[in-house]
Each structure stands twice: as C-alpha cells, then as structure tokens.
C-alpha cells in the first residue's frame, strides 16, 4: 500500500498483553510514529484501560505529537483526543438503560446455561462501560495465563456470543478479548470506529493501516479487514514492535509540527 497517513491499532495482545501495561519499547515506537502520521487505538476496552495501559506510560512528547493520538474505546462508540489539559472527549454514545438491562440479563443467563459462569474469578464478570456491556468470563483483572488457558480455541466464547445474539436481535453481540463478549448498539464494531476516524480526521480509509492480532473471521478485528482497509496481522506486542521498527523509517519526517 502507499505510505499510510494514519495507523490504527488494536490494544490487547497487539500493543500489550491483555489488560497489561505497554512495554517501554512500544511507548517509544508509538511516539516516533505519531511524529510522522496520525495514530489511533481502537479496542473494546474502556477509557480507563487505555489510560492505564498506554497513555500514562508514554514517554515525553510535544503537544503537537500527542495531538495526533486518537483514542477510541468500546470500538469507537467513544472518541477522545489528548490535549495539554488532559484527555478531551470528542463524543461518547451510551446505550439506553433498557438496552443495558436486557444485555446484562441475556449474557448472564446464557453464560449460566452453558456452564460458563465461573465461581472463581478476578474481579467482576459483568461491566457496564456506558456504550458497551462486557462479559469477562474470569473477571476484569484475571491474569493473562489464566485467560489464555480458559478458551484456547475460542469455542466457549463463540458459543456464548451466538446464544446471546439470538436473544438480542436489536443489539450487536461479538467476541471481544480472549475471554470476553461485548454488546453494543447494532452496527458497532471496529469498522465503525475506522469510519469515525475517517470522518473526524478527513483521512480516507484507503490511506489508513490497521494493525491487530484477531483478523481471522471470528476475530473482533476482522470487520476492519472486511471493509477493505489495509491490515497487518500480528501475534503479540513483540511482533507489533518489530513491524513498527520496519515501518517508521519508511515514513517521511513531518515538514512542521503542525497537527
């Protein structure tokens, strides 16, 4: 593809291990990339996760460079930019109380029916993220090793997703991270987030590149590939770092520090 004007990333298992902090190597590379092009992160996680895993750990950078970072939690139903005064809301679109109530009830009932409601967990299983309801089988704070071992083939998660989707035809139900299922308004996925990026930045989708670890048809990154955006598949943050170390030197230095 031509040199991208914007590079977007999944978060968990792309920039960092699930629910974990980025390695300093990734932080340095994200800033080096943002000195050249717009940089976005699109994930099912909420803003607090983006902040703790990435934003708070970035190395020092100019306000102009930080302004090129776009944060899209909950698959783009929320959109934030970084300013000298902190993280600024571009928009945040929430589910209605009725949608939240039905989503929470559906995912819990089906998880229990399928034997996927675990008694030993690390934190809450269900989370209201405003614009998204998230089921995390082992809890929000489960260690990476436990999550990896729980459903290595994705069979459990996909069975739950299908069962919940049947009960919520008006909402979008999709596999999220390694142990999670996410519920949003219908039509909300990472392709939605990419379209919002294009609308907000004025950069055509053809000039964007997406980097993710779940570009397979059952993965939550697949909608971006299916919409025709150029994609780079990775397997963990080290793979992403290696890719960026090859990509960044091919991109031109900015002519000025204009955002």
Predicted pLDDT at 259: 41
Closest by Cα among 196, 191, 188 to 170: 188
pTM, 2 dp: 0.81
Q: Summarize pLDDT for 37-59 with one digit per residue, the tens.
A: 999 999 988 899 999 999 999 99
pLDDT of 257 higher than 50: no
Inter-residue contact 45 to 12 (CB < 8 Å):
yes
Across the chain, mean pLDDT equals 93
Kindly state the tokens that stand for 51.
């902040």
Question: How far is the CA of 254 from the CAs of 34, 39, 171, 205, in angstroms?
Answer: 10, 14, 42, 21
Q: Summarize pLDDT for 121-151 with one digit per residue, the tens.
A: 999 999 998 889 999 999 988 998 999 999 9
Predicted pLDDT at 1: 63
What percent of the chain is predicted at pLDDT more than 70? 98
Q: Summarize pLDDT for 70-96 with one digit per residue, the tens.
A: 999 988 889 999 998 889 999 988 899
CA distance linking residue 245 with residue 248, whole number of Å: 6
Predicted pLDDT at 67: 95
pLDDT of 207 higher than 90: yes
């Amino acid at each position: 593809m031509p040199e991208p004007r914007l590079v977007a990333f999944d978060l968990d298992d792309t920039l960092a291990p699930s629910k974990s902090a980025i390695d300093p190597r990734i932080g340095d590379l994200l800033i080096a990339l943002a000195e050249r092009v717009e940089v976005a992160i699109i994930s099912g996680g909420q803003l607090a996760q983006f902040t703790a895993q990435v934003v708070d750990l970035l190395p020092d950078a100019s306000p102009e460079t930080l302004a090129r970072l776009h944060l899209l939690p909950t698959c783009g139903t929320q959109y934030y930019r970084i300013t000298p005064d902190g993280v600024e809301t571009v928009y945040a679109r929430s589910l209605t109380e009725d949608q939240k109530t039905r989503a929470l009830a559906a995912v819990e009932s089906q998880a229990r029916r399928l034997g996927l409601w675990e008694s030993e967990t690390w934190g809450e299983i269900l989370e209201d993220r405003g614009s998204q309801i998230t089921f995390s089988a082992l809890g929000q704070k489960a260690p990476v090793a436990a999550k990896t071992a729980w459903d290595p083939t994705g069979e459990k998660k996909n069975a739950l997703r299908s069962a919940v989707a049947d009960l919520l035809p008006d909402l979008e139900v999709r596999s999220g991270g390694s142990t999670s299922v996410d519920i949003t308004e219908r039509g909300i996925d990472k392709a939605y987030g990419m379209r919002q990026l294009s609308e907000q930045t004025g950069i055509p989708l053809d000039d964007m590149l997406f980097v993710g670890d779940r570009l397979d048809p059952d993965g939550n990154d697949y909608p971006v590939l299916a919409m025709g955006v150029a994609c780079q598949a990775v397997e963990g943050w080290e793979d992403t770092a290696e890719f960026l170390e090859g990509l960044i030197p091919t991109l031109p230095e900015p002519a000025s520090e204009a955002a």
